[in-house]
């Protein structure tokens, strides 16, 4: 096995090598992304890297720039202390979210992830609706989700089992594992899922124990976690950047800073997979273009009425579908819609004044 293969450079990537780039440059993997720079590796240590001017100016959108986990064409300089990135390989999978506060821009979380650990802690953080959003984002990226329920030392085993059952109901195909970094319960099951040469990422709110899990798995306090006092003050995130870490077992893990919200993403395909039973059911609606709001013969409304479909799950589905449609609209369409909305507000205000 070559160093690159050990980093996950599989046949999938080998068959997508660009001959021209390959003749001129080496291949490396992006370990982390900073403001204007990167670190990359070819399997032996990590090197500071920058984009070539050509790559920087020829890319159409931010999504074309390298992100953590990307395979890139790169050359090493100055006794291998510094590298230049010339191009990005096609991505096998891509995890992204809508950038906070912006209309259509996406923030790339990581590329070429095989499995995503979605972590919620069993204390105040547990929330099925939030879990559905994470599942949709992971499905949208074509990535296998694994649901981890952390801090199970804080809850009686019986309640942990009940919560696991409720998760299984909304994610029937995903493994669901309760674990504790304190008692080490569930840790072996998690480690057992990590395949050599595969890349995983840790997702979930700040403070659920992502980095602590990483430390538990590698068996040292190498990466900084948040102390309890810092959590109580609701301070900054303990982890501030995404980083690809190679385990001794040959698997790779990307630790991420907790995401503040997954409020608005375009997650079309993800929605379909996450709400597959709702979609199946909607085939039975009388009208093909049923909006499932007030139509006669709507199979979803009937199922909610009959108690076969949870009202909250149904509402979450409708909400995510609406958000997803809004995110898919172009910037101009949105501006138009916002303007129309602004006009509406103005006319209502006028009416009021009259
Ligand atoms: N009771 C209990 N506490 C835990 C467990 N795992 C982690 N913690 C505590 O939870 C706090 C947050 O842990 P981190 O690993 O820093 O959380 P994180 O998800 O990496 O947070 P960000 O990096 O901010 O996104 C720390 O005080 C840990 O000691 C666990 O299994 N049980
Ligand atoms: Mg962390
Ligand atoms: Zn319907």
> Which of 109-123, 246-260, 331-345 is predicted least confidently?
331-345
- Domain co-membership, 166 together with 314: no
> What is the number of the ligand 1 atom nearest to the C-alpha of 206?
25
Residue 272 has pLDDT above 70, yes or no: no
Query: Mean pLDDT score of the chain, rounded to an integer?
Result: 84
Choose between 274 and 131: higher pLDDT. 131
Residue 84 has pLDDT above 50, yes or no: yes
pLDDT at residue 234 in the model: 44
* Ligand 1 within 6 A of CB of 138: no
- Domain co-membership, 192 together with 228: yes
pLDDT at residue 125 in the model: 75
Measured between alpha carbons, how far is 46 from 243 in angstroms, rounded to an integer?
11
Pocket test for ligand 1, best of 118, 123, 209, 230 (most atoms within 8 A of CB): 209
- Domain co-membership, 131 together with 172: yes
- Domain co-membership, 83 together with 129: no
Take atom 1 of ligand 1 and give the residue whose Cα is closest: 151
- Domain co-membership, 135 together with 245: yes
pLDDT in tens, 283-335: 888 887 788 888 889 999 999 999 999 988 898 888 877 776 665 555 455 55
> Which of 3-7, 98-102, 173-177, 270-274 is predicted least confidently?
98-102
* Ligand 1 within 6 A of CB of 151: yes
- Domain co-membership, 123 together with 245: yes
- Domain co-membership, 37 together with 66: yes
pLDDT at residue 157 in the model: 92
What distance in angstroms lies between residue 308's CA and the mean position of ligand 3's atoms? 14
Confidence of residue 242 (pLDDT cuts 50, 70, 90): confident
pLDDT in tens, 186-197: 999 999 999 999
Tokens coding 165: 């059952």
What distance in angstroms lies between residue 220's CA and the mean position of ligand 2's atoms? 14
- Domain co-membership, 14 together with 64: yes
8 and 197 in contact (C-beta within 8 Å)?
yes
27 and 16 in contact (C-beta within 8 Å)?
no
Q: Is residue 66 part of a domain?
A: yes
Q: Is residue 266 part of a domain?
A: no
Give the mean model confidence (pLDDT) for residues 138-148.
93
Q: Is residue 21 part of a domain?
A: yes
Cα dihedral sign for 153, 159, 161, 162? negative
Confidence of residue 123 (pLDDT cuts 50, 70, 90): confident
Q: Exposed, middle or buried by CB within 10 Å (0-12, 13-18, 19+), for 104?
A: middle
Q: Is residue 196 part of a domain?
A: yes
Q: Exposed, middle or buried by CB within 10 Å (0-12, 13-18, 19+), for 183?
A: exposed
Q: Is residue 260 part of a domain?
A: no
Tokens coding 310: 């949870």
pLDDT at residue 319 in the model: 80
Residue 120 has pLDDT above 90, yes or no: yes
Measured between alpha carbons, how far is 18 from 322 in angstroms, rounded to an integer?
39
Contact residues for 333 (Cβ-Cβ < 8 A; gap 6+)? none
Q: Is residue 297 part of a domain?
A: yes
pLDDT at residue 36 in the model: 78
> What is the number of the ligand 1 atom nearest to the C-alpha of 180?
31
Closest-CA residue to 260 (of 110, 69, 99): 99
- Domain co-membership, 225 together with 342: no
Measured between alpha carbons, how far is 354 from 350 in angstroms, rounded to an integer?
6
Percent of the chain with pLDDT over 90: 48
- CATH code where residue 27 lies: 2.40.50.140
Beta bridge partners of 76: 83
Instruction: Tell me which of 255, 287, 309 is where a domain ends.
Output: 255
Question: Which one of the ligands is nearest to 217 CA?
Answer: 1
202 and 215 in contact (C-beta within 8 Å)?
no
Choose between 210 and 323: higher pLDDT. 210
pLDDT at residue 230 in the model: 44
Model's pTM, two decimal places? 0.75
Residue with tokens 């804080």: 154
**H or E element, residue 346:** helix 331-353
Closest-CA residue to 258 (of 238, 285, 278): 238
pLDDT at residue 327 in the model: 59
pLDDT at residue 345 in the model: 57
Q: Is residue 7 part of a domain?
A: yes
Residue 339 has pLDDT above 80, yes or no: no
Give the mean model confidence (pLDDT) for residues 142-150.
95
Measured between alpha carbons, how far is 308 from 296 in angstroms, rounded to an integer?
18
Beta bridge partners of 150: 121
Q: What is the DSSP letter of 310?
A: -
Give the mean model confidence (pLDDT) for residues 259-271.
52
- Domain co-membership, 142 together with 243: yes
Question: Which one of the ligands is nearest to 181 CA?
Answer: 1
What distance in angstroms lies between residue 274's CA and the mean position of ligand 2's atoms? 26
Measured between alpha carbons, how far is 267 from 67 in angstroms, rounded to an integer?
20
pLDDT at residue 163 in the model: 92
- Domain co-membership, 102 together with 248: yes
Instruction: Tell me which of 226, 255, 284 is where a domain ends.
Output: 255
- CATH code where residue 323 lies: 1.10.40.50
Give the mean model confidence (pLDDT) for residues 78-102.
85
- Domain co-membership, 79 together with 98: no
* Ligand 1 within 6 A of CB of 239: yes
Q: Whole domain around residue 35: which residue ranges? A: 3-88
Closest-CA residue to 80 (of 31, 47, 49, 52): 47
Confidence of residue 185 (pLDDT cuts 50, 70, 90): very high
Residue 46 has pLDDT above 60, yes or no: yes
Residue 237 has pLDDT above 70, yes or no: no
Measured between alpha carbons, how far is 295 from 204 in angstroms, rounded to an integer?
37
- CATH code where residue 126 lies: 3.40.50.300
Q: What total of structural domains would you count in the chain? A: 3
Closest-CA residue to 202 (of 105, 290, 131, 110): 110
Tokens coding 95: 């995890």
Residue 135 has pLDDT above 60, yes or no: yes
Q: Is residue 263 part of a domain?
A: no
What distance in angstroms lies between residue 228's CA and the mean position of ligand 1's atoms? 8
pLDDT at residue 57 in the model: 80
Pocket test for ligand 1, best of 123, 149, 225, 256 (most atoms within 8 A of CB): 225
pLDDT at residue 261 in the model: 45
Instruction: Tell me which of 61, 88, 115 is where a domain ends.
Output: 88
Q: Exposed, middle or buried by CB within 10 Å (0-12, 13-18, 19+), for 127?
A: exposed
Give the mean model confidence (pLDDT) for residues 28-42.
91
Measured between alpha carbons, how far is 332 from 354 in angstroms, rounded to an integer?
33
């Amino acid at each position: 096995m070559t160093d690159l293969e050990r980093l996950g450079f599989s046949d999938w990537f080998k068959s997508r090598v660009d001959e021209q780039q390959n003749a001129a440059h080496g291949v490396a993997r992006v370990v982390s992304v900073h403001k204007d720079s990167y670190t990359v590796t070819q399997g032996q240590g990590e090197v500071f890297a920058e984009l070539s001017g050509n790559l920087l100016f020829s890319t159409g959108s931010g999504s074309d720039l390298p992100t953590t986990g990307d395979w890139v064409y790169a050359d090493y300089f100055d006794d291998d202390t510094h590298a230049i990135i010339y191009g990005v390989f096609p991505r096998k999978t891509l995890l992204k979210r809508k950038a906070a506060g912006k209309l259509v821009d996406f923030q790339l979380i990581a590329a070429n992830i095989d499995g995503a650990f979605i972590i919620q802690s069993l204390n105040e953080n547990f929330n099925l609706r939030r879990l559905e959003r994470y599942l949709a984002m992971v499905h949208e990226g074509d990535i296998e989700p694994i649901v981890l329920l952390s801090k199970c030392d804080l809850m009686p085993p019986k309640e942990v089992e009940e919560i696991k059952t409720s998760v299984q109901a909304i994610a029937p195909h995903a493994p669901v594992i309760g674990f504790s970094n304190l008692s080490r319960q569930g840790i072996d099951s998690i480690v057992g899922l990590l395949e050599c040469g595969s890349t995983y990422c840790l997702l979930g709110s700040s403070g659920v124990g992502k980095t602590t899990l990483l430390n538990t798995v590698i068996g040292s306090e190498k990466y900084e976690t948040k102390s309890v006092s810092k959590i109580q003050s609701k301070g900054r995130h303990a982890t501030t950047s995404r980083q690809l870490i190679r385990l001794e077992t040959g698997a790779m893990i990307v630790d991420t800073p907790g995401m503040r919200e997954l409020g608005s993403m375009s997650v079309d395909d993800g929605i379909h997979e996450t709400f597959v039973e709702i979609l199946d059911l909607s085939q039975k609606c009388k009208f093909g273009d049923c909006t499932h709001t007030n139509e006669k013969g709507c199979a979803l409304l009937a199922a909610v009425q009959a108690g076969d479909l949870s009202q909250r799950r149904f509402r979450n589905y409708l909400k995510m579908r609406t958000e997803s449609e809004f995110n898919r609209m172009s910037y101009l369409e949105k501006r138009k819609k916002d303007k129309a909305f602004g006009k509406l507000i103005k006319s209502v205000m006028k009416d009021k004044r009259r």
